[in-house]
Amino acid sequence: MKQRLLLFFLFAGIVGIHAQTFVSLPAGGGNLKSSAYQQIGITDVKISWNAPGVKGREGKIWGTPIAHYGFQNLGFGTSKEAPWRAGANENTTIWFSTDVSIEGKTLAAGKYGFHIALYADSCILIFSKNSTAWGSFFYKPEEDALRVTVRQQKGLPQSREWLIYSFEDQTENSATIALLWEHWRIPFKVSVDVNKTVVDNLRRELQTDKGFVYENWYAAAQFCLQKGYNLEEALTWADNAINPFFGVETFSTISLKSQIQEKLGKTADAEATMKKAMEKANVQEIHQYGRQLIHTEKAGKSHGDICAEPHQKRRYLACTRGPHARLFRHRKPEKALEHAQKALTKAPDDINRKNLEASVKTLSEGKALVQ
């Protein structure tokens, strides 16, 4: 008897489990579950939709029950004025990992239900805070986060069988998202303030365990320098990359601070900081720095000072005087020859000597040095 009861409960449990699970089958109605993803700067954008097909209904899509115009009572759900669900079946959704602008209007980070109120010559795009409802049957205007109006393109030469969302015309800080179906294209532009978004994210990340890695402070400060953005705070970040608690004092970290000071117009501070950086520099770093200075307006004076003061070591002078010769090749050719000759007298090895001899020969013939 006990064995029969045990078998009964075991069987009932199995049936109960199977009653709550389902096998995987294609989406109903022959529609295709679809998604598209793109990153703008560090902003993730993802669209998910069920794609209906034209299925021989050319010319009978727009302004019909398939994709109705305006706001209508669909005869089901709670909405008496529902827009088109911008796809098929459940909600079409769009997700932004950061704040964005849609056609110039701000939209906060988050996931939204996406609907479109279609008209013959324009479309109202609706981003709803309700992203979990089925289609637009339960649409409520009070849940709108944003509405924008755009104009569609009609009469495209090639018909698109399956509805698709495509990312087009991408730039560093924007992309156009286009709904394409049958002979229509409905585009809208998504823009991101990339510099602000990146810096806001850097502030958050640098407060975590990532802030104990000096390379992260360095990378954050370097980003701001490259963009010419948030420089005052970048100077603090550069200091943190040097901080003895977890930072390092290298040519790279100290010279980055100098470059930011220079960008902020703190010339005297920048020069003093660069002198400290040069004390940490190896031959290759001095050489590269000299090449960087070649195209700057005050490169002659700055590089000359750098070569003269802290680097009396023979191995440094040959390296620094070489770039200094290149520095003057256009404005003062005679100076270029002078510095190449000085470098030759301090050549630390045969490789440098041969290179410098070639430079002296080239300059003596009145020719320009190769960059």
Element (H, E) at 261: helix 251-263
In the predicted model, is pLDDT for residue 281 greater than 90?
no
Mean pLDDT, the chain, rounded, equals: 85
> What's the rounded Cα separation, in Å, for the pair 293 and 163?
55
Query: Which phi and psi (to 5°) does residue 168 adopt?
Result: -135, 165
Query: Are the CB atoms for 259 and 270 separated by under 8 Å?
Result: yes
In the predicted model, is pLDDT for residue 300 greater than 80?
no
Report pLDDT for 371: 52
**Cα separation values, 25 from 14, 134, 271, 320, Å:** 22, 19, 69, 71
DSSP structural state of residue 24: -
Q: Look at the alpha carbons of 156, 161, 165, 169 in this order and tell me if their dihedral is positive or negative.
A: negative
Report, as an integer, the average pLDDT of 241-257: 93
Helix (H, G, I), strand (E, B) or coil at 170: coil
Helix (H, G, I), strand (E, B) or coil at 125: strand
> What's the rounded Cα separation, in Å, for the pair 153 and 252?
52
- Residue 23 pLDDT grade (very low, low, confident, very high; cuts 50, 70, 90): confident
pLDDT tens for each residue of 166-212: 999 999 999 999 999 999 999 999 999 999 999 999 999 999 999 99
> What's the rounded Cα separation, in Å, for the pair 172 and 44?
13
Report pLDDT for 82: 97
Report pLDDT for 362: 80
pLDDT tens for each residue of 253-280: 999 999 999 999 999 999 999 999 999 8
Helix (H, G, I), strand (E, B) or coil at 364: helix
Whole-structure pTM value? 0.76
Report pLDDT for 353: 78
- Residue 165 pLDDT grade (very low, low, confident, very high; cuts 50, 70, 90): very high
Amino acid at 305: D
Element (H, E) at 167: strand 160-168
Return left, alpha or beta for 228; rule: phi > 0 is left, psi -120 to 50 is alpha, else beta. left
In the predicted model, is pLDDT for residue 15 greater than 60?
no
In the predicted model, is pLDDT for residue 11 greater than 80?
no
Report, as an integer, the average pLDDT of 207-228: 97
